[in-house]
Amino acid sequence: MKKIKLGMIGGGIGAFIGDAHRRASRICNDFELVGGVFDVDYEKSKEFAKKEGIASERCYISVEAMVKGELARPEGERIEAVSIVTPNYLHFPFAKLLLENGFHVMCEKPMTMTVQEAEELERLVNTKKLTFALTHTYTGYPMVRQMREMIKSGILGTIQRIDAQYYQGWVNSIIHGADSRITGVWRFDPAQSGVSSCMGDIGVHAFNLIEYTTGLEIKQVLSDLNNIKEGFQLDLDGTVLLRFENPKLKGVIRSCQVATGEENNLTIAVYGSKASLKWGQENPNYLYLLSDTEPVKVLKPAHGYNSEFAEKSHTMPCGHPEGIYEAIANIYKGMAKSIRGEAFIPGEFPTVHDGVRGMKFIHAVVKSYKEGNVWISL
Ligand SMILES: NC(=O)c1ccc[n+]([C@@H]2O[C@H](COP(=O)([O-])OP(=O)(O)OC[C@H]3O[C@@H](n4cnc5c(N)ncnc54)[C@H](O)[C@@H]3O)[C@@H](O)[C@H]2O)c1
């Protein structure tokens, strides 16, 4: 099948997540990277394009130039979808420009800087009838998808408690270490990162995972945040209490970027009246089913007992572990199906609506803390 022509903004030499996007788009085998604006510095962008084997005339000086240059090409040759893998403050203006000009978008999270921007993108996607996918990476794991399907089947009974946490420790070395610095890192600059560091960067993944796996909406939050160090403008740690539609269901999100020794410790546990499910991203191929009457069951990918959705999200036979690249590839696969007008399972890629929800969460959490730890509706 003809590959979808992909463009990329950001992701040049030394950038973090752009490389994972490129690998994922190749793993899913539906995309071909043909051009982009790979770096804020045009010379470095050209150096990257040369290394990657991308035609020099398709390495553009700006996103505006890319849109113009690609639209001037005959249909069938031009870029159809663009991955935005830049710092947060650029997601909205670039996504808006791309959608207005008919390009499908794969956007990194957090989707925008404000709730208003997120809602504007949602309106635009709906009007233009284009595909917009948001890289909430963890939704691409087979056992997260299995968890979603099992919860949907009602196997847990009534859900009574939800716990999600995302703990990292990498910020410690930056704020306390020998090269201690709180400037020069875009993630710590509110103008580039947004109103939150910890909740905006990783807490939002935990939020998304709760809504993704349970299908429930978080209605209200009450937060306590910690910036750890004098002069640090954004949160580096926080706890968020959660309320849902059902007043007898409670939950919590704990998120931290200074949890010494932690790497990417994202976990979710959903406790029901009959059974519970637990998953953690550092061992993503194990999904734990707990009950009070039977021994713990461990579900793994590529077994007939899984749902069709989980099975379609793992390509190797059982026992050959797949990981984060394949998870992102599954999101690209869902996006490709949507672009091609093929049938896909809801949940194959996070949507612009998930992005709106995420922005509502981040802003509600910050507001709750600033107003003295009060309940805020999303
Ligand atoms: N989904 C995930 O799990 C995940 C993981 C890491 C990062 N992210 C998100 O991905 C985004 C990028 O993060 P990162 O860690 O890769 O950042 P990074 O700093 O490593 O890379 C950013 C890239 O954007 C480029 N850039 C900056 N301004 C630009 C402009 N005007 N035009 C073109 N390119 C420009 C930079 O040159 C660089 O190549 C962030 O929004 C972050 O939140 C998501």
Quick one: the chain helix, strand, coil %, rounded to 5?
Answer: 40, 20, 40
Ligand 1 contact via 15 beta carbon (within 6 Å): yes
Name the 3-class secondary structure at 349: coil
Residue 293 CA, ligand 1 centroid: distance in Å: 47
**Is the confidence at residue 179, as pLDDT, over 70?**
no
The DSSP code for 36 is: E
- Split at pLDDT 50, 70, 90, the class of 178 is low
Ligand 1 contact via 137 beta carbon (within 6 Å): yes
Ligand 1 contact via 290 beta carbon (within 6 Å): no
Please check whether the domain covering 141-305+350-370 is classified as CATH 3.30.360.10.
yes
CA 159 → CA 248, 262, 295, distances in Å?
9, 29, 20
**Is the confidence at residue 175, as pLDDT, over 90?**
no
Residue 376's beta-bridge partner residues? 221
Contact between residue 238 and residue 225 where contact means Cβ atoms under 8 Å apart: yes
**Is the confidence at residue 202, as pLDDT, over 90?**
yes
**Domain residue spans of the chain:** 4-137, 141-305+350-370
Residue 18 CA, ligand 1 centroid: distance in Å: 7
What tens digit of pLDDT does each residue of 308-319 get? 999 999 999 999
Helix 204-214 × helix 142-153 angle, to 10° = 50
- Split at pLDDT 50, 70, 90, the class of 126 is very high
**Span 39-45, mean pLDDT?**
98
Residue 87 CA, ligand 1 centroid: distance in Å: 4
Write the class of the CATH domain 4-137.
alpha beta
**Span 179-207, mean pLDDT?**
88
Q: Which residue has the tokens 């394949």?
A: 326
**Is the confidence at residue 13, as pLDDT, over 80?**
yes
Report pLDDT for 232: 86
Ligand 1 contact via 168 beta carbon (within 6 Å): no
Report pLDDT for 100: 98
User: Ligand 1, closest atom to CA 15?
Assistant: 20
Name residue 4's amino acid: I
Residue 130 CA, ligand 1 centroid: distance in Å: 23
Give the span between the Cα atoms of 369 and 307, in whole angstroms. 40
Give the span between the Cα atoms of 354 and 331, in whole angstroms. 14
What tens digit of pLDDT does each residue of 224-266 get? 999 998 888 999 999 999 999 999 999 999 999 999 999 999 9
